[in-house]
Amino acid sequence: MSRTPPLSKELAKKEPVQNTHLNPTRAFILKRYRSAQNITDKEEIAKLKAVAYDYLQLQKDLTERARLYDLDRGAEVVFTPKEMSRRAAARSGLQLPKLDPDLE
């Protein structure tokens, strides 16, 4: 009888399960995953791992979204129009051309 493999290290590093009242989605995922420790069906194990992985990706994406929001918030006050244009171009994978320093 094989046991369900542990969650990924990144998901396990998050706050302890006792704090799940703050994040009901995380509590649901962990409860579902841990309640299936004695399952031996490989397809069911793969589904549980996929759900845990999808949740981990969701957490990473939400963290990245918050980081990007913080970068953009208040940019008009902090950056010059030239720097804002350079950053917008960089986000889309472009580079602004070098301008003649005499024109600046």
57 in a domain, yes or no?
A: yes
- Looking at per-residue confidence, does 61 or 15 come out higher? 61
Sign of CA dihedral 68, 8, 48, 15: negative
User: CA 66, 71, 74: angle at the middle one, nearest 5?
Assistant: 115
98 in a domain, yes or no?
A: no
Listed in sequence order, the DSSP H helices in 7-102 are 9-13, 24-35, 42-72, 75-78, 81-91
Domain that holds residue 23: 17-91
102 in a domain, yes or no?
A: no
Which residue's structure tokens are 């472009």? 94
pLDDT value at residue 25? 82
Tokens of 28: 């649901």
pLDDT value at residue 60? 92
58 in a domain, yes or no?
A: yes
Report the predicted TM-score, pTM, of the whole model to 2 decimal places: 0.49
68 in a domain, yes or no?
A: yes
46 in a domain, yes or no?
A: yes
1 in a domain, yes or no?
A: no
Of the candidates 56, 61, 70, the one whose C-alpha atom is nearest the C-alpha of residue 26 is 56
Number of domains in the chain: 1
70 in a domain, yes or no?
A: yes
